Amino acid sequence: MDAKFKQKKLEGMISELGQVKASKSAALVKLKTMMEKTVMSRATNSQNSTIIWVSNWEYKYLTKTGEASLAVFDKKITTINGWIETMRKQEKEMLLKTEHIEKEIK
């Protein structure tokens, strides 16, 4: 009796799993259809407008990407300024050495 009860319970769970899978599949199809319609709608609307509409998720992604790009840009500027400063110091040092050598020659 215990084995039959477990078998029935297992069959019920398998059936429920099948229903959940079917529901998930239907939801994914609806989501895909909705996304395609949204993309088409945006494309149609943007042809006659200078405004580009983006979703909240897209906006956040682009904003974070932009912020990261600015941070990298700032680091590059700092590095370049460091190189410029180093080159100026080397140039100044070379001029001083040149002047010193010229004085020794005279």
The pTM assigned to this predicted structure is: 0.40
Confidence of residue 87 (pLDDT cuts 50, 70, 90): very high
pLDDT tens readout for residues 24-66:
888 888 888 888 888 788 777 767 767 777 778 888 888 888 7
Average pLDDT over residues 63-81: 85
- Residues 6 or more apart whose Cβ sits within 8 Å of residue 54: 62
